[in-house]
Amino acid sequence: MAPTRLLVPVDAAGADTPVQVAADVTGTGPTLLLLQGQSLGPDTAASLAADLADGFRVVVVHTRGTGAGTGGPGPGGWSTATFAADAVAVLDALGVVRAHVHGFSMGGRVAQVLAAQHPDRVDRLVLGATGPGGAQEVPCDDDVSRALRHSGSSTGRQALADLFFTPAWSAANPDAAARFAPTGTPRVRRAHFGASTGHDGGDLLPLVRARTLVVHGRDDRLTPVANAELLAARVPGATLRVLDGARHGYVEEFRVRSAELVREFLA
C-alpha cells in the first residue's frame, strides 16, 4: 500500500520562507512515529516502516530540510526542540493524542525532548543509535568528527558509509546503503549538525515516563555504545539491547532483528 502524504504548516518564526513539515502515513493499528537522523531523508525509514505497517499505523516524519518539507532555517537555526514541536504538529494534524515513538540517531535526541516535554503524547519510546548529548555524551573519535564535517565530499561520504555499515554489506546492498547518504543543502546540513550537537538531554532523561527501549550497535563508532548505556541508566526503567557486529546503521543492515525488537517491545 502506497503511503499517504501529509503536509503540516508549522511555526516559521525567523524562517525566510513558509515552513511545512511532511509525513508519510501507511498501515493500520496503533500509531508509531518514526524520527530520522541528522540530514537523513525519510527513505532511511522505508525498511522499518514496511516491516511494521502490518501491525501499526506508521508515520514517517520528514525532518525539516529533508524530503518533501518546505522552508529553510532562520538566522537562529534549528534545535531538537524545533523538531520535537514539528512531531507534535504532525500528531495534532492526524488527530492522534498518544503514539509510540521511534527515534534513530539525531531522531533519538528529538524523541528525548518529545517524551520529556510532552509525556502525555508518548506511549512507548525506542531510542536507536543515539546519545544524551551535552557534557554526558561519550564523544566519537577525531577521524569520525572529520568525516561528519566533510560529509558533502565523496571521500567524506565513503567514510560516513563505513561508519553506518560494514563494507561487505554496503557492497552487497548498494541501493540500501545509498539511502543513508546526507541530504539537503549545505545550509540545511549545517542546521541539522547544529541541532544535533546542541542537544543536551542531561535534565530531560530523568523526566521520561514512557516505557523505553534503547537499541544500539556494539561496533558503532559514530555514536559509541557507551552512550546507549548512559541512556539506559538515566531513563527510568529503560531496557537496553546491544547488537553484536552492528554499526550505526543497524536499522538497515540488521533489518530483521531491528524490526523484531521494536515489534516485541511495542506489543
Each residue of 220-253: pLDDT tens digit? 999 999 999 999 999 999 999 999 999 999 999 9
Name which of 14, 24, 9, 5 is nearest 70 in CA terms. Answer: 9
Whether the pLDDT of residue 15 is over 80: the answer is: no
Give Cα separations from 227 to 132, 184, 201, 230, 248 (angstroms): 7, 27, 12, 5, 12
The predicted structure's pLDDT at residue 154: 66
Read off the pLDDT band of 151 (50, 70, 90): low
Q: Please, which pLDDT band fits residue 159 given cuts at 50, 70 and 90? A: confident
Residues 81-139: pLDDT tens digits?
Answer: 999 999 999 999 999 999 999 999 999 999 999 999 999 999 999 999 999 999 999 99
CA distance 115 to 249: 23
Task: Report the pLDDT value the prediction gives residue 70, as an integer from 0 to 100.
Answer: 86
Tell me: pLDDT of 209 over 90: yes
Instruction: Give the pLDDT score at 243.
Output: 98
Cβ atoms of 216 and 129 within 8 Å: the answer is yes
Max intra-chain CA distance, the chain: 45
Q: Is the pLDDT of residue 144 over 90?
A: no
Q: What average pLDDT score do residues 160-171 get?
A: 95
CATH ID of 4-140+184-266, from 2.30.110.10, 3.90.1150.10, 3.40.50.1820, 2.40.160.40: 3.40.50.1820
pLDDT tens track for 39-92: 999 999 999 999 999 999 999 999 999 999 888 898 889 999 999 999 999 999
Predicted structure pTM score: 0.95
Task: Report the pLDDT averaged over residues 131-154.
Answer: 82
Going from the C-alpha of 262 to that of each of 126, 127, 212, 266, the distances in angstroms are: 7, 10, 11, 6
Q: What is the pLDDT of residue 233?
A: 97
Grid cell at residue 55: 501491525
Does residue 172 register a pLDDT over 70? yes
Single-letter residue type at 240? L
Q: What is the CA radius of gyration of the chain?
A: 17
Quick one: pLDDT at residue 163? 95
- C-beta separation of 142 from 134 below 8 A: no
Mean pLDDT on 208-216: 98
Domain residues of the chain, as ranges? Answer: 4-140+184-266
